[in-house]
């Protein structure tokens, strides 16, 4: 800023040396950061209003008191990464992609106390990489940082990164963290990292490993109530592994992993709490702890399993010569109506995998399995206390050949019974029901008579919004940022602005209140939209009728003009790229049309006539 203006401000209100330095650093084009409004650029100083004119990321121009700015804004220097990005975006994007650690060093070296919280990292790199790409970029960069001898995590704040003055080896860093941390759960986790070190690294700290083994033994022996049985078992395994590294005999250690498993009265709950890398080791432990009944124990675990453990359990039993036993279990559980949703999901996903052909029999892949699937979806939906999606329900709609495969041995009566079940199911949305009915009709045309009212895309209730997973995630993320970051920051900004005195002439207060109204209105709208949203997968779209998830080619009946449109979810519209929300008038006119059909579209006073030339699934055109 101009020295004369700075002197005028200083005469009016005493300033500290640091604040004067910040005022001197402010100039036209200078970038700054505000807690609520994000990244901004100073456009200049209004000498009449005696305010700085700043434009923030929302595009709004704010007139702000200079003293307020130096006290509440962070003024960015020319070597700041975000300033460099604004001046040369391509170069910084390339660095983020090819030299992420070098860019991270640039950020942390210019930070206060050489520390960076995850929120600060997100603020910078989401603006460089974008919201969508940040998570993948950070996952890879975080792994590189974990191996960097100059970067460590704060012992007090797990999401804060610190730049060391001197490099520290991975071995020394692990030992240092073991000394600092007193929490037994954290100690077990850190000790587990020693097990994964290369042999030569383990040999370097062999003497210290002896102390770690003793420490882990004490943790297990104290029966600390903070530790679950799964954590005690994990601690046992890590203790034994580290004892093996230094040549200690483990057979005399107490308690043993076998004794912990034998004393457990709920193995299913225990395995749910174990980290997935220990699944196979746990199953081996079951065979040792229960040598006479391990097959049945493993089968019971499989029956109630979920996620990755289901596959691990099946492979474990097959590798130990139990395919016939597994096949009998599957068929018996189907007859007893004891097949649960996760295992049904696994069977459906793997029904064509060659290595499982011996256990997933033709007898199992039947209309009875489809009935079990509908019943399991009903049960899951009734017991689902959150907004969590039901994977089995999604798989039924996404797998285009499932109905055909499961109805291959069905009679017409069986098909009609299953169709009745589907009609009575209240959990599938209208669009998904339509897709499934179409697959039933393709195999058994006679079931069409059961459907008293044709279910079409036009009949989707106005109270619901059909959306893609990608657009839903974007809206949900926006909502989370509003609730967790922007609204709290705005509340703090209002409190700070109140300190400036007379509210009638306090522009910062007025702006903060205006922002509050906008933020709360946006929050309310997002809550309504997210409650109405029904996520679908475009891969389930049909190719013989226009629906949500299809690409349609039209030819004008009045000229030789050709047009192509993709019809997608309510929040996916992109007219410039010929992507229509199914809510638009043109999309509504096209829904349920088939190849050869004519469609008239009225826009204003003009009506145009088109013929449907072809229909494809949108996912096949990507």
pLDDT tens for each residue of 2-20: 677 777 776 666 666 667 8
Distance from C-alpha of 53 to C-alpha of 43, rounded to nearest angstrom: 5
Considering only residues 36 and 287, tell me which one the structure prediction assigns the higher pLDDT: 287
Phi-psi region of 358 (alpha: psi -120 to 50; beta: other; left: phi over 0): alpha
Could you tell me which residues are beta bridge partners of residue 31?
41
CATH of domain 81-163: 1.10.10
pLDDT of 459 strictly over 50: no
Q: How many CB atoms lie within 10 A of CB 16?
A: 10
Q: Which of 162-176, 241-255, 305-319, 506-520 has the highest mean pLDDT?
A: 305-319
pLDDT, residue 457, reads 41
Could you tell me which residues are beta bridge partners of residue 607?
602
Per DSSP, 605 falls in state T
pLDDT tens for each residue of 514-525: 788 888 888 888
Would you place residue 461 in the very low, low, confident or very high pLDDT band (cuts 50, 70, 90)?
Answer: very low
pLDDT of 458 strictly over 70: no
Would you place residue 453 in the very low, low, confident or very high pLDDT band (cuts 50, 70, 90)?
Answer: very low
Considering only residues 241 and 620, tell me which one the structure prediction assigns the higher pLDDT: 241
Q: Domain boundaries in the chain? A: 3-75, 81-163, 380-455, 466-536, 538-621
pLDDT, residue 462, reads 45
- Taking a C-beta distance cutoff of 8 angstroms, is the pair 200, 184 a contact? no
One CATH from 3.30.930.10, 3.10.50.30, 3.90.25.10, 3.40.50.2000 for 538-621: 3.10.50.30
pLDDT of 228 strictly over 60: yes
pLDDT tens for each residue of 62-74: 888 888 888 888 8
DSSP state string for 39-100: EEEEEEEETTTTEEEEEETTS-EEEE-HHHHHHHSEEPPTTSHHHHHHH-HHHHHHHHHH-H
Instruction: List Cβ<8 Å contacts ≥24 apart for 79-85.
Output: 79/106, 79/110, 80/31, 80/110, 81/106, 81/107, 81/124, 81/128, 82/31, 82/33, 82/39, 82/124, 82/127, 82/128, 83/31, 85/127, 85/128
Residue 341 C-alpha from the chain's centroid: 22
C-alpha dihedral over 104, 109, 115, 121, to 10 degrees?
Answer: -30
Architecture in CATH for domain 3-75: Roll (2.30)
Q: Which residue reads 């050949």 in tokens? A: 401
pLDDT, residue 64, reads 85
pLDDT tens for each residue of 331-379: 999 999 899 999 999 999 999 999 999 999 989 999 999 999 999 988 8
Would you place residue 382 in the very low, low, confident or very high pLDDT band (cuts 50, 70, 90)?
Answer: confident
pLDDT of 566 strictly over 70: yes
pLDDT, residue 16, reads 62
Coil, helix or strand at residue 163: strand
CATH of domain 466-536: 1.10.287.180
pLDDT, residue 602, reads 66
pLDDT tens for each residue of 263-320: 999 999 999 999 999 999 999 999 999 999 999 999 999 999 998 999 999 999 999 9
Residue 481 phi/psi, 5° resolution? -65, -40
Would you place residue 26 in the very low, low, confident or very high pLDDT band (cuts 50, 70, 90)?
Answer: confident
pLDDT tens for each residue of 389-434: 788 988 998 888 999 999 998 998 999 889 888 887 777 877 788 7
- Asked whether this chain's domains 81-163 and 466-536 adopt the same fold, the reply is no
């Amino acid at each position: 800023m101009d020295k004369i203006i700075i002197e005028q401000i200083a005469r009016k209100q005493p300033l500290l040396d640091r604040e004067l330095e910040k005022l001197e650093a402010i100039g036209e084009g200078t970038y700054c950061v505000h807690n609520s409004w994000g990244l901004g650029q100073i456009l200049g100083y209004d000498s009449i209003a005696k305010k700085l004119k700043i434009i923030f990321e929302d595009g709004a121009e704010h007139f702000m008191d200079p003293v307020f700015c130096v006290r509440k804004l962070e003024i960015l220097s020319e070597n700041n990464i975000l300033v460099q990005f604004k001046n040369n975006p391509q170069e910084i994007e390339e660095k983020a992609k090819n030299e992420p650690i070098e860019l991270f060093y640039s950020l942390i070296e210019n930070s206060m106390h050489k520390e960076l919280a995850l929120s600060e990292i997100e603020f910078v790199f989401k603006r460089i990489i974008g919201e969508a790409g940040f998570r993948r970029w950070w996952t890879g960069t975080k792994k590189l940082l974990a191996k960097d001898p100059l970067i460590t995590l704060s012992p007090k704040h797990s999401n804060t990164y610190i730049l060391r003055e001197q490099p520290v080896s991975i071995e020394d860093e692990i030992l240092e963290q073991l000394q600092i941390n007193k929490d037994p759960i954290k100690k077990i986790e850190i000790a587990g990292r020693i097990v994964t070190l290369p042999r030569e690294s383990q040999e370097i700290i062999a003497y210290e490993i002896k102390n770690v083994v003793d420490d882990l033994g004490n943790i297990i022996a104290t029966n600390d109530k903070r530790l679950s049985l799964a954590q005690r078992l994990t601690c046992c395994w890590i203790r034994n592994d580290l004892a093996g590294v230094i040549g200690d005999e483990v057979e005399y250690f107490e308690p043993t992993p076998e004794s912990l498993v034998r004393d457990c009265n709920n193995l299913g709950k225990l395995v749910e709490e174990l980290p997935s890398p220990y699944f196979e080791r746990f199953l081996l432990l079951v065979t040792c702890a229960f040598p006479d009944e391990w097959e049945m124990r493993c089968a019971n675990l499989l029956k109630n399993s979920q996620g990755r453990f289901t596959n691990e359990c099946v492979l474990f039993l097959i590798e130990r010569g139990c395919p016939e036993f597994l096949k009998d279990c599957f068929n018996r559980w189907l007859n007893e109506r004891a097949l649960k949703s996760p295992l049904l999901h696994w069977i459906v996903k793997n029904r064509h995998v060659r290595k499982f052909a011996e256990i997933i029999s033709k007898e199992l892949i039947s209309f009875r399995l489809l009935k079990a699937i509908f019943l399991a979806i009903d049960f899951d939906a009734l017991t689902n206390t959150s907004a969590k999606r039901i994977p089995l329900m999604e798989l039924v709609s996404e797998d285009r050949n499932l109905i055909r495969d499961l109805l291959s041995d069905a009679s017409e009566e069986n098909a009609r019974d299953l169709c009745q079940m589907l009609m009575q199911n209240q959990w599938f949305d209208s669009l998904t029901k339509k897709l499934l009915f179409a697959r039933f009709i393709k195999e058994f045309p006679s079931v069409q008579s059961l459907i008293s009212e044709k279910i079409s895309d036009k009949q989707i209730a106005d109270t619901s919004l059909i959306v893609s997973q990608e657009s839903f995630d974007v809206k949900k993320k926006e909502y989370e940022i509003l609730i967790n970051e922007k609204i709290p920051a705005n509340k703090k900004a209002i409190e700070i602005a109140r300190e400036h005195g007379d509210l009638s002439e306090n522009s910062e207060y007025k702006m903060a209140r205006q922002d509050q109204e906008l933020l709360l209105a946006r929050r309310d709208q997002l809550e309504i939209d997210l409650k109405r949203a029904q996520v679908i997968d475009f891969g389930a779209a049909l190719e013989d009728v226009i629906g949500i998830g299809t690409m349609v080619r039209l030819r004008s009946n009045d000229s030789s003009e050709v047009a192509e449109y993709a019809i997608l979810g309510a929040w996916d519209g992109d007219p410039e790229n010929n992507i229509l929300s199914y809510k638009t008038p043109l999309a509504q006119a096209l829904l349920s049309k088939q190849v050869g059909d004519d469609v008239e579209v009225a826009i204003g006073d003009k009506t145009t006539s088109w013929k449907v030339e072809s229909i494809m699934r949108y996912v096949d055109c990507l």
